[in-house]
Amino acid sequence: MNLKLSWSTGIIIAMISFMIFILSFVYKAVALDEYQHELVSEDYYKDELHYQEEIDKLNNAGILSKDIKLKNTDQGIHIVFPEEINESSIKGSITFLRLSNEKLDFTEKIDLTEYEQIIPAEKLVSGKWIVKIDWEDGKNNYLFKESWFY
């Protein structure tokens, strides 16, 4: 069997193949749940109004002699706060954001024991997290933000 194709038939086959290839990616990006990507915040524009407050908190945290330390352990993520601030005056929240799936996001209240807190491994899934620690010491407000792989 000897099959001969003209150059115009080859171009049409190539164009149809390319369109099928591109449409398969469009289908995956739009229709399949495993490729869904949510925004970090649904109230993006409202959050943008508070951006200067966030910058001020980050600047306050930058003034401290030591930063908050994160460490992966078998129990979960070990968080150590700077000892230059009175432990009993530290109040706030620790938020874990997962960009790939907002259903995994959660917030913990700061509850320190000797300047340390452990986020249990049961609440965490392996991968990249954005850790936001928003805290105050009675005088100043602070913010710590970091991308963290668990």
- The listed range with the strongest mean pLDDT (19-23, 41-45, 58-62, 129-133) is 19-23
- Residue 14: the pLDDT is 95
Write out the residue range of the structural domain in which residue 125 sits.
44-149
- Residue 63: the pLDDT is 86
Q: Between 95 and 2, name the one with better pLDDT.
A: 95
Are both 26 and 82 inside the same structural domain? no
- Residue 108: the pLDDT is 92
Are both 31 and 70 inside the same structural domain? no
> For residue 123, what are the contacts with CB-CB under 8 A and spacing of at least 6?
76, 96, 106
Q: Which residue in 64, 61, 44 sits closest to 133, CA to CA? A: 61
Q: What total of structural domains would you count in the chain? A: 2
Q: Between 35 and 126, name the one with better pLDDT.
A: 126
Are both 5 and 58 inside the same structural domain? no
Are both 67 and 96 inside the same structural domain? yes
Are both 131 and 84 inside the same structural domain? yes
Considering the entire predicted model, what is its pTM?
Answer: 0.66
Please say if the pLDDT value at position 93 is more than 90: yes
Are both 145 and 113 inside the same structural domain? yes
Are both 20 and 62 inside the same structural domain? no
Please say if the pLDDT value at position 114 is more than 70: yes
- Cα dist from 9 to 13, 17, 86, whole Å: 6, 12, 78
Are both 17 and 85 inside the same structural domain? no
Are both 71 and 11 inside the same structural domain? no
Are both 131 and 63 inside the same structural domain? yes
- Residue 64: the pLDDT is 85
Are both 15 and 71 inside the same structural domain? no
